[in-house]
Structures are given as structure tokens and as C-alpha cells.
Amino acid sequence: MNHAMPKLLVPALLASALCLSLPVAAQTAPGAPAPIKVADVRAADLQLGAQPGRVGRAGVDAGAKAVEIRTPDASFIKVHFEQFSLPAGVTLEVASADGREVYRYSAEHRDGFTVAADLGEDGKSRFSAMSISGPVAVLRLVGQAREPWRKDHGVKVSRYLEGYPEDMLPELGKAGLLNTDVGGKSICGTDNKQAAACYSSSDTQAFNGSKPVARALMSSGSLCTAWRVSSSNRMFTNNHCFSTAAAVASTELWFNYQRSTCTGAQATVTKVTGDQLLKTDATLDYTLFTVKNFANISSFGFLGLDPRAATANEGIFIAGHPGGRMKELSVADTQNSTGKCRVDAPSVTGNAANSDVGYYCDTEGGSSGSPVIARSSGKVLALHHFGGCFNSGAKMSLIWPQVSTYFGGVIP
């Protein structure tokens, strides 16, 4: 069964669709920080289950014909299971069209999945599969039932998340159609951001510092940036991105979502899901959390923290997913005499007086949660959350005392 969406090519129609798709809660007041939106929820009516004549029988193949969710140009598809119940021995495969990305779900074992309580998911019979990169997701039952099929056995898909086309994100971002994030300018003067891979040889500190940075995709289709803090299972993002245990459980983290070369194709992505909420604070706008399958992301390293007072004019750089795009680095800055990103104001007002570090280093919606990394240490000096030129990040010197117990009191 194919579910094709009209190709999103007409700007006026696209603008209308995006505006209509925003939930009321996402339409925040000007200046209030919020994640950007990079996907829409689509309705579906797909069912896979016991074939006629097999109810009450065991020892037979699943025998179900594969079904597809096919779109013209989606960047990803994330399938929601309205009902999931299979006999032992039968597995549901959710795969890309070429079979390179496959997730398997059965009564005995499940690969990664997310649970969005606000969408009625319970993590048992109702949950969402990991996203499939690309415009097609193939669902197939495989295996042989080791117990009789029951009438209530089967899989029902009532909706899925459809990611906006990757090549349209820059245009949509410039038009302001993705951005419910902080009002005002975030690109200060000329946009100096570049794909992370552009610095792989010319600025190895910045390139290597971008590796622990991930794209945080939420069940609503909203997006922020997150990053590994230490050698243990610890991640940071903004409180305004997510701030509850339920929201953590509904979030995917995409590592290595970046170009393979400066102008190359997408590199191979590693996806994990959020696990536990450890600590969050609205004033300093941080959330500290853990992920499932932490070993899968160990190769990307971690950043560490630099919880001290920032110094005027000290060098910095920022890694993140501005506009929801593949990972970019803010290294250059034509707003100052050095031509490089730096601390332009060591202390500015964020959500509280003198809570933030200010800089002209370019950011966009989607950069929320990005690490502001000190050149002197290669560690995180601030947690980006506001635009406005100055752009600003909450001081790590203020965040650290609130989270130090989660690191055994030892600064990573």
C-alpha cells in the first residue's frame, strides 16, 4: 500500500501547510524560545496480521505481504504503532527501501523505539519505531509462529512522522517557516556557518569538537541540538527543547548526521533514543539526560565542561544543527576584527540577570542546545539558547553547581 504525499514545491502552499500544522502550544509569543519544526504527522491506515485461515494455527510462516509508506521526497519516516501484538517467532521489520537500515520488533526482542505518552503510547502495544532515513519505509512480517495466531495478533499503523526534504530546509529556514525559536536575528551580518566536514583539515579542533554533537528529533517533529558531556552516559540540551521524563523517552538522537565531505552526501548516521531525565532547569535552560544503547555512541567521544567565567575576546566555536540541517560549525565571524568567533560580552542577561555569555557567532533555530566551546580548553563554556545579536548561551559556571552530583563532583 502506498501513501504518497503531494510534492512540496509551491512556496505559497508550503507556507500555508506549515502554518496550519503547528499545534497551538507551539505558537509561542515573540522572543520565547522553542524548538523548530522539521516534520509533520501524517495519518495512515495500515494493518499487518494473520492471513485468512491461520488464526488458531502455529508453525506457519508469517506470510504477510510487505506494505510501504512511500513519499516523494521525505527526509525520514517514523512509524507509530497504534497496535502491536505478535505471536512468538514472528518479527516485524521496518526498513529502508534498499534494506540498509532495518529495525526489528517482536514479542521477544525490540530494537530501538520511542514512547510518546502525549500521543497515547504506552511502550508495550503502542510505541514508535526508530525513524527510517529517506522517502520510503517498508514494513514486513517475517518468521514462523511458535504459538497459535490469535484474532488480536497484528500490527496497526495509524500515523507516521514525515520529515521535510533535506534540500528544502535552507530555503524554509530563510523564509522563517521552520522557526518558532527565539525572535530577532541569530545570523549576525553575513552567515559564516559551514558544514562541519569543511573544517576536517583546516580546523581539526573544531571538527573533532563537533563529533559528540547530535540532532535531537522529538515525537512532534520538533528539533534541537544535544551533545555528549562526559565519558559516562550524560547528554545536555535546552530545557525549552524538552524538560520531562516523557519527552526524553520520545526523542531520538542522531549522531554523525553531517556531510561526509564539505559538499558531499550524508554520512552514515547512528541513532539512539533518550532514556532518563536527570536534571532540568528553566532559568538556565538546560536538561541533563541519558540515552539507551549508550555503547553505540561511545566512538563519538565527549566534550567536557569549562565551568569558569568567560573572558572578553576569548576564542570560541559552536557546533550544532541550525535550521535542522546536517551538522554545521560556527567558526568564522565577520562581525569582529579577528574574523573568528569569540566571546563579545562575558556577561549578559538571559533568563536572569548576568546568566549568559554573549557572542556574534552565527546560530539559527535548531541551534538550541548547542555547545559553545572554548578554544583554550576545547570544553563547553556555555549552552546556547538565545538569538538576537548578541546571541547567547547560559553560563556553564552557573549550570555546573546544579548538576555536579551527576558527575561525582568531578568536572568532566
Q: What would the mean pLDDT of 250-262 be, rounded to a whole number?
A: 98
Instruction: Say if residue 326 is in the same domain as residue 296.
Output: yes
Residue 1 and residue 138 in contact, taking contact as beta carbons nearer than 8 Å: no
Residues paired with residue 386 on neighbouring β-strands, in sequence order: 392
- Could you read off the pLDDT of 143-187 as tens digits, one per residue? 999 999 998 999 999 999 999 998 898 888 777 777 655 443 588
Q: Is residue 14 part of a domain?
A: no
Q: Is 16 helix (H, G, I), strand (E, B) or coil?
A: helix
**Across residues 345-363, what is the average pLDDT?**
97
Same structural domain, 191 and 154: no
Across 164-285, the runs of DSSP E, i.e. the strands, are: 194-195, 213-217, 222-228, 235-237, 252-255, 270-281
Mark whether 156 and 196 lie in a shared domain.
Answer: no
Q: Which residues contact 295 (CB under 8 A, 6 or more apart)?
A: none
- Inter-residue contact 293 to 322 (CB < 8 Å): no
Q: Name the nearest CA neighbour of 197 among 154, 261, 247.
A: 261
| Residues forming beta bridges with residue 332, ordered by sequence position | 340
Which residues are within 8 A (CB) of 384 and not within 5 positions of it... i.e. 6 or more apart? Answer: 225, 318, 320, 363, 367, 368, 369, 370, 371, 372, 391, 392, 393
Identity of the residue numbered 226? A
Domain housing 124: 40-163
Percent of the chain with pLDDT over 70: 87
CATH number of the domain encompassing residue 390 = 2.40.10.120
Mean pLDDT along residues 258-262:
97
pLDDT band (50, 70, 90) for residue 274: very high
Q: What is the largest CA-CA distance in the chain?
A: 77
Domain shared by 128 and 196, yes or no: no
Can you give the pLDDT at residue 20?
33
Read off the CATH number of the domain in which 149 is found.
2.60.120
> b vs e for 377-409, b when ≥16 Cβ sit within 10 Å of the residue's Cβ?
eebbbbbbbbbbbbbbbbbbbbbbeebeeebee
Q: Give domain status of residue 29, yes or no.
A: no
Say if 28 falls within a structural domain: no
Residues 294 and 364 both lie in one domain:
yes
Q: Are residues 232 and 126 in the same domain?
A: no
- The reply to whether 132 and 217 lie within a common domain is no
Residue 22 lies in a domain: no
